[in-house]
Amino acid sequence: MTLRARPYRSVLYIPGSRDRALEKAKELPADAIIFDLEDAVAVEEKVNARALLAERLAEGGYGNRALIVRINGMDTPWGAEDLAAMMEIGPEAILLPKVGSAADVAAVAAMLDAHPRTAGTQIWAMMESPVGILNAAEIARAPRMAGFVMGTNDLAKDLGCRTRGAMHMALQHCLLAARAAGIVCVDGVYNAFRDEEGLARECAEGRDFGFDGKTLIHPAQIAIANAAFAPSEAEIELARRQIAAYEEAVARGEGVAVVDGQIVENLHVDTARATLAKAGAIAGQEAA
Ligand SMILES: CC(C)(COP(=O)(O)OP(=O)(O)OC[C@H]1O[C@@H](n2cnc3c(N)ncnc32)[C@H](O)[C@@H]1OP(=O)(O)O)[C@@H](O)C(=O)NCCC(=O)NCCSC(=O)C[C@H](O)C(=O)O
Ligand SMILES: [Mg+2]
């Protein structure tokens, strides 16, 4: 299990065209923000949204959250200009929609390589097409690739499926690819943004699958995702006891401890340390 330096429990989409929402986001306790120029922005607003977002990002004020910009596809009339505008700002990450292959990513990475402001800019990929999901392993290892975002709306559309259950295999396949490459992987959105119980259920499922967090579309969803993807007090307390018990066992010359009737070996200690690291990263994020 990777020890992540920052949490990605709640990853909020904000339409780049909505100035009020762009302002409001500065106060919201989301771990990460996706500033969207793609599907949340109407065709006739695309150009204005790009300019507005560039202005707001240059002003700053979003704290230490992860800031990610979703541009339009490079095969659309807006993608190249979105990328050019964002390269002048040098955002932390560019999120590419509907990625189909590692070559899609490599082409954008080469452009970032050539620009002085984007030396540290990561690339994230929307995993939302059947071909992209089949190519998940190569996409996860593409240049600058740092995170997968599941696009369950587009995927459901392309599959013609009616339930989240029908997408479980795709979700797990992308998680496997992300974990094998050591990158972040966040779950898709829950569209019924006023249904708190439904969101909590889907967050719990995503957490149990192993996602780092969930993408969100409304501020009311943030607290639910933050709670679901954070280690509970009981998990933190158990992790501490497991580490202590294992260290005592090692000091006695043994390789296995027992806590609450269950064995604790070095691999369980790795998981316990990851739990504490995650709790520490969350505390750091919330204190900032
Ligand atoms: C869904 C919404 C259109 C609802 O908007 P609205 O009717 O304005 O909601 P509220 O009146 O309840 O809003 C209350 C206040 O919160 C602010 N607000 C709303 N949404 C956001 C947001 N996302 N970020 C920041 N702030 C937000 C409002 O401005 C109100 O503030 P105030 O005026 O101070 O009271 C709307 O929530 C929305 O547009 N959500 C985002 C939709 C979106 O981004 N969609 C694209 C991403 S999903 C996707 O594409 C998935 C993927 O690609 C796939 O294939 O699955
Ligand atoms: Mg999509």
Each residue's pLDDT tens digit, 122-160: 999 999 999 999 999 999 999 999 999 999 999 999 999
Q: Is pLDDT at 61 greater than 90 in this prediction?
A: yes
pLDDT score for 287: 85
Structure tokens at 19: 């100035």
pLDDT score for 288: 79
Q: Where are the domains of the chain?
A: 10-229, 233-287
What value does the mean pLDDT of the chain take? 96
Q: Side chain identity at 98, as an amino acid letter?
A: K
- 173 in Cβ contact with 132 (< 8 Å): no
> What is the average per-residue pLDDT within 189-203?
98
Strand partners, 262: 259
Question: Which CATH superfamily is 10-229 part of?
Answer: Phosphoenolpyruvate-binding domains (3.20.20.60)
Which protein residue has the closest C-alpha to ligand 1 atom 34?
Answer: 24
Q: Is pLDDT at 5 greater than 60 in this prediction?
A: yes
| pLDDT tens per residue across span 75-93 | 999 999 999 999 999 999 9
Q: Is pLDDT at 49 greater than 70 in this prediction?
A: yes
pLDDT score for 4: 60
Q: Is the ipTM of this complex over 0.85?
A: yes
Cβ of 128 below 6 Å from ligand 1:
yes
Per DSSP, the chain holds a count of helices (H) and strands (E) of 12, 10
Distance CA 133, CA 131 (A): 5
Where residue 144 falls (left for φ over 0; alpha for ψ -120 to 50; beta otherwise) is left
What is the percent of the chain with per-residue pLDDT over 70, rounded to a whole number? Answer: 99
Nearest one of 273, 219, 218 to 244, comparing CA atoms: 273
Cα 54–34–219 angle (5° rounding)?
Answer: 115
Residues comprising the binding site? 70, 128, 154
Q: Is pLDDT at 3 greater than 90 in this prediction?
A: no
CA-18 nearest atom, ligand 1: 29
What's the 87 CA to ligand 1 centre distance in angstroms?
A: 26
Distance CA 88, CA 86 (A): 5
- What pLDDT band is residue 1 in, cutting at 50, 70 and 90? very low
SS3 69: strand
pTM of the model: 0.97
Cβ of 16 below 6 Å from ligand 1:
no
What's the 77 CA to ligand 2 centre distance in angstroms?
A: 17
